């Protein structure tokens, strides 16, 4: 039966505990498993595999349409595991609007291992074609990008990568499989910070990855088991619980985000609103083709740091914090938070200015949220 996403979030085949019929997957808080002397066992040691983690990994593989899923101790652990499958001396092409931590890992850690990255404006896929080298083994993308919501045509980029024999990796944290399924568009590896929408409640740090072939599954498993950055069973449970309500949360937050974007556009203090749901947003048409909705994240630019300080100080509802994708709205200040690790010059190139704020819309009443923003603007 071909299920709609809302049904699938609850029915991936992992919903009933095979042993006792429990309605949620038990937390197997065990580090090792007893073995009969001559038995072939499914689980031997919990870094290598744990039934709670296996359930989450199966769920995310089903949702993303991948061959196999992997759960890691953070989004960065998932991302670095994917990059660690590349051979020494590889060249990576990454979109220039990248999560700050991924930028840091590529420029300050992988560079030491002889893995060099070229950052390109991937909103024009030809820039990827132009940056290809004989040793280009991966094209790394994020769309919508962080924090200015630039849109990349996944299918076009993946096709260029494939022709060159390179893997396409897509960080799908902002969209989740509810809105966007990169494997269907040609991505080989899909990555998530499950800390965000998948977990959804600001109570767990986690990462997941899915792959589209058995060969890649073998490589990822080698890194997951070999480097050991696995997700613990309690945290696996929390991510699975979050996924059950992914559809309702994404729909509700998106509906409010659409209203917030319209409201922000009207405010004289707001210079620019970055939201893929706005018709005038660059890449709007491409996004509408590859995703089923604009999502719950938007950014907007005020004049400068002073204005941001006054505005944020007056706001009452959103959490002012690093992170996104939760039940509560979270406002973040990229230059000091997610993109603090990026050199200022790089930030400026990407429009990540001292006036830029990113809003992750939660589940508060839309009217209340708008009222809160209205009173904060009134004080500027
Ligand atoms: C948060 C985030 C990450 C890193 O995930 P952690 O769980 O914090 O390690 C990677 N990519 C994006 C788009 C993110 O928002």
User: What pLDDT, in 10s, does the model give residues 80-94?
Assistant: 999 999 999 999 999
Query: 229 CB less than 6 Å from ligand 1?
Result: no
Residue where the block lists tokens 């949360």: 249
Query: 193 CB less than 6 Å from ligand 1?
Result: yes
Residue-wise pLDDT tens digits, 161-189: 999 999 999 999 999 999 999 999 999 99
Tell me: pLDDT of 342 over 90: no
- 35 in a structural domain: no
Structure tokens at 344: 């200022």
Please list the residues that pair with 332 across neighbouring strands.
358
- The CATH number assigned to the domain holding 253 equals 3.90.1150.10
Q: What is the mean pLDDT of residues 257-280?
A: 97
Distance 17 CA to ligand 1 centre (A): 30
- 265 in a structural domain: yes
Residues spanned by the domain of 327: 247-378
Residue where the block lists tokens 């088991």: 225
**The pLDDT of residue 280:** 96
- 326 in a structural domain: yes
- 187 in a structural domain: no
Distance 213 CA to ligand 1 centre (A): 24
Does 316 participate in catalysis according to the annotation?
no
Among 94, 109, 173, the mutation site with the greatest number of ligand 1 atoms within 8 A of its Cβ is 173
Residue where the block lists tokens 């907007």: 300
367 backbone φψ class: left, alpha, beta (φ>0; ψ -120 to 50):
alpha
- 181 in a structural domain: no
Q: Report helix angle 233-244 to 51-64, nearest 10.
A: 40
CA nearest to 324, candidates 192, 235, 189: 192
Structure tokens at 281: 């947003």
- 261 in a structural domain: yes
Annotated catalytic residue, options 171, 181, 275, 347: 171
More confidently predicted of 347 and 94:
94
**The pLDDT of residue 346:** 84
Query: 172 CB less than 6 Å from ligand 1?
Result: no
pLDDT band at 45; cut points 50, 70, 90: very high
CA Rg value for the chain = 21
Name the strand (E) or helix (H) holding 91.
Answer: strand 91-95
Count of domains for the chain? 1
Q: What is the mean pLDDT of residues 362-371?
A: 98
Supply the pTM of this predicted model. 0.97
pLDDT band at 369; cut points 50, 70, 90: very high
pLDDT band at 2; cut points 50, 70, 90: confident
CA nearest to 124, candidates 101, 93, 167: 93
Q: Among residues of the chain, what percentage have pLDDT more than 70?
A: 100
- 281 in a structural domain: yes
**Rounded Cα–Cα distance for residues 107 and 295 (Å):** 29
Average pLDDT, the chain: 96
Does 196 participate in catalysis according to the annotation?
yes
**The pLDDT of residue 379:** 84
Query: 358 CB less than 6 Å from ligand 1?
Result: no
Does 178 participate in catalysis according to the annotation?
no
**The pLDDT of residue 61:** 98
- 178 in a structural domain: no
Q: Among residues of the chain, what percentage have pLDDT more than 90?
A: 92
**Rounded Cα–Cα distance for residues 299 and 355 (Å):** 10
Query: 207 CB less than 6 Å from ligand 1?
Result: yes
Query: 145 CB less than 6 Å from ligand 1?
Result: no
Tell me: pLDDT of 192 over 90: yes
Q: What are phi and psi of 238, to 5 degrees?
A: -65, -40
CA nearest to 300, candidates 341, 353, 340: 353
DSSP 278: S
Query: 149 CB less than 6 Å from ligand 1?
Result: no
Distance 326 CA to ligand 1 centre (A): 13
Distance 194 CA to ligand 1 centre (A): 8
Distance 90 CA to ligand 1 centre (A): 23
Residue-wise pLDDT tens digits, 221-238: 999 999 999 999 999 999
Does 171 participate in catalysis according to the annotation?
yes
Query: 175 CB less than 6 Å from ligand 1?
Result: no
Annotated catalytic residue, options 17, 47, 121, 124: 47
């Amino acid at each position: 039966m071909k299920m709609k996403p809302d049904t699938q979030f609850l029915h991936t085949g992992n919903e009933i505990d095979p042993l006792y019929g429990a309605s949620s997957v038990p937390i197997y808080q065990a580090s090792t498993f007893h073995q009969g002397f001559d038995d072939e066992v499914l689980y031997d040691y919990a870094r290598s595999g744990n039934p709670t983690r296996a359930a989450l990994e199966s769920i995310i593989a089903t949702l993303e349409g991948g061959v196999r899923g992997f759960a890691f101790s953070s989004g960065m652990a998932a991302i670095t595991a994917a990059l660690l499958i590349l051979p020494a001396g590889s060249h990576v092409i990454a979109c220039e609007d990248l999560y700050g931590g991924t930028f840091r890992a590529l420029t300050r850690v992988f560079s030491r291992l002889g893995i060099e990255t070229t950052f390109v404006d991937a909103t024009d896929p030809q820039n990827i074609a132009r940056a290809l080298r004989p040793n280009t083994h991966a094209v790394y993308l994020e769309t919508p990008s962080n924090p200015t919501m630039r849109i990349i045509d996944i299918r076009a980029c993946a096709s260029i990568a494939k022709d060159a024999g390179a893997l396409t990796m897509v960080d799908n944290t902002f969209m989740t499989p509810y809105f966007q399924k990169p494997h269907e568009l040609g991505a080989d590896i899909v990555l998530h910070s499950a800390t965000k929408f998948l977990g959804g409640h600001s109570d767990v740090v986690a990462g997941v990855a899915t792959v589209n072939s058995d060969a890649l599954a073998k490589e990822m498993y080698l890194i997951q088991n070999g480097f050991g950055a696995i997700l613990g069973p309690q945290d696996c449970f929390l991510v699975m619980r979050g996924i059950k309500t992914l559809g309702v949360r994404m729909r509700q937050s998106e509906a409010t985000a659409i209203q917030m974007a319209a409201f922000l556009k009207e405010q004289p203090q707001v210079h620019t609103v970055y939201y893929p749901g706005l018709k005038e947003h660059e890449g709007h048409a491409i996004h509408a083709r590859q995703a089923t909705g604009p999502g719950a994240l938007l950014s907007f630019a005020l004049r400068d740091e002073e204005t941001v300080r006054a505005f944020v100080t007056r706001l009452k509802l959103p959490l002012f914090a690093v992170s996104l994708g939760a039940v509560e709205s979270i406002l973040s200040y990229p230059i000091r938070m997610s993109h603090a690790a990026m050199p200022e010059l790089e930030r400026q190139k990407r429009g990540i200015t001292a006036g830029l704020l990113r809003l992750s819309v939660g589940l508060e009443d839309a009217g209340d949220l708008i009222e809160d923003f209205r009173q904060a603007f009134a004080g500027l």
